[in-house]
Structure 1
Amino acid sequence: MATGRLALTVLGLVLLTLALTPLQLVAIQLRWPLARRLPHLWHLVAARISGIRVRVRGEPARGRPLLLVSNHQSWADIVALGAAMPLSFIAKEEVRGWPAFGWLARLQRTVFVARERRGETGRQTDTIGERLASGDVMVLFAEGTTSDGNGVLPFRTALFGAAQASLRASSRAEVTVQPVAVAWTRVHGMPMGLFHRPLAAWPGDVPLVPHLPDFMREAAFDAEVVFGEPFSFTAGTDRKALARASERRVRELLTAALRDPL
């Protein structure tokens, strides 16, 4: 039964991707606004196929440019966030070369960054800033790696400079930075708890295989995407102070969602 469910899930995702890829490639090439919306549709359908029920608390900020700052525990966070609203991601450079995931990330119009190359940081933040200034909502997984889903790791501050770059690129007085928490709360309708949350989480030292097929065999997860109160980033804002404040807020949002899930 579990093997059959896995096969159907993979088949459904493959067919979905094949159906939308040609149109998305054209939309990206011609810079149509549709290029922002098609990935949102993909994530909505992919969540249903994969058995992920996404619940949203709070609301995305209306202001633009908008940088979302989120915790990160699994590749499945991308599906949950992508189903919540149209957006693009900031990902480490290695993801570009991953089988299947790298291709999907490029279709999502992901910005890839090489965090270990400090000399590249300025150029990378400028690229993200230009995307923000153009109206794209960007997601920064500020921990720089994946956690076990029970807490939030320290945020890295370097790419918060993208907010500064967006100010320069857009000539606006402020950028909206909004903390977001992704919480995996239930499996088959039952609370996961501290020890079962790794069913959904994919910490950095856990191989993708067998985690990915194990996740798809379960095919019955609840994820909460919790939007917090946004911060206003201006020319006088301290980037490191903003990172620390965002980290505290994301930790509070995650703790509240895990303690009292919808």
Structure 2
Amino acid sequence: MITWIRIALIVVLLLVVTLVLLPFQLIGLAFDLKIRRYIPRYWHKTACFLLGIRIRVYGELDRRRPLMLASNHVSWKDILVLGAVADVVYIAKAEVANWPIFGTLAKLQKSIFVVREQKRKAGEQVNEIAERMKAGEIVVLFPEGTTSDGNRLLEIKSSLFGAAAAAVPHTPDGVVHVQPVALAYTRVHGMAMGRYHRPIAAWPGDIELVPHLMGVLKEGALDVVVAFGEAVEFRTGDNRKQLSLTVTMRIRRMLIDHLRGRSYEAL
């Protein structure tokens, strides 16, 4: 009974916050005002607080622009977590736009929806990403292309870095900064989360969204590490596969370190 009361309270409070922020975000979207970039961060911070997601940040967000964040992908919770620590915009699969709740929220954040199967649209989509980066927005890419079980980094697809290459000619210095980010879900209710328990935080994709969401609401108290690595400078003529290899190496190293608890040794 107490669990259901808690869930109801979370839903009501999140709805209230949404209704308060929504008019300002709609105005920002209608007139393409910069406030549309900042308001989602307050919503994500509130959502993480209400859901019991505690965030530890290691390293710093690169201050240089244009900036693309390349992160491993564990769950829909990654959106809340990254959105709570930085003013970002996401590159998402086109089908996300039709998801219940999350599709609407993605549209309100002006996510960039891509149709990977339709090559004729690829140029337009890459150009939109490049324009958004050129305008100073921080674009988040999940180069694995899908979610993992949270224990490892899946194969990174170098083709997804095409947006970084497309943005290079439009930058003043002829460079795009690609910063690796590792998301490691490490604890539940303050207890270290082993590899067999990490699926509590993960959403591999073959589990239906609503039951998984209810499980998270019931569980609560998740600790997640957001580790920012050293950014890679990508210039005209640079090789996307080399960029992919470098980003892969840095994300994997940070992910392994934090999953093994090395991030807590200094505390």
**Residue-by-residue CA offset, 1:109-154 (whole Å, 9 max, x unaligned):** 1000011222322221111010000000000011111000000100
Residue 243 in structure 1 maps to residue 244 in structure 2: yes
Structure 2 residue aligned with 1:47: 48
| CA–CA separation in structure 1 for the residues paired with 2:125 and 2:245 | 21
Paired residue type of 1:240: K
Structure 2 residue aligned with 1:188: 189
User: 3-state DSSP class of the match of 1:91?
Assistant: strand
User: 3-state DSSP class of the match of 1:176?
Assistant: strand
Paired residue type of 1:44: K
- Specify every segment of 5 or more residues in structure 2 that has no aligned partner in the other structure, as ranges: none
Structure 1 residue aligned with 2:230: 229
**Residue-by-residue CA offset, 1:16-53 (whole Å, 9 max, x unaligned):** 11111111010111122111110111111111111111
Shift of 1:171: 4.4
User: 3-state DSSP class of the match of 1:247?
Assistant: helix
8 Å CA contact 2:169, 2:236 repeated in 1: no
Paired residue type of 1:126: N
**Residue-by-residue CA offset, 1:193-221 (whole Å, 9 max, x unaligned):** 11111111000212113111100111211
- Specify every segment of 5 or more residues in structure 1 that has no aligned partner in the other structure, as ranges: none
Paired residue type of 1:90: I
With normalisation by structure 1, the TM-score equals 0.97
| CA–CA separation in structure 1 for the residues paired with 2:159 and 2:23 | 35
**Alignment: residue pair count:** 262
Output aligned runs, 1:63-142, within 5 Å: 63-142=64-143
Structure 1 residue aligned with 2:6: 5
User: 3-state DSSP class of the match of 1:128?
Assistant: helix
| CA–CA separation in structure 2 for the residues paired with 1:101 and 1:221 | 20
8 Å CA contact 1:121, 1:158 repeated in 2: no
User: 3-state DSSP class of the match of 1:193?
Assistant: coil
Identity of aligned residues (%): 48
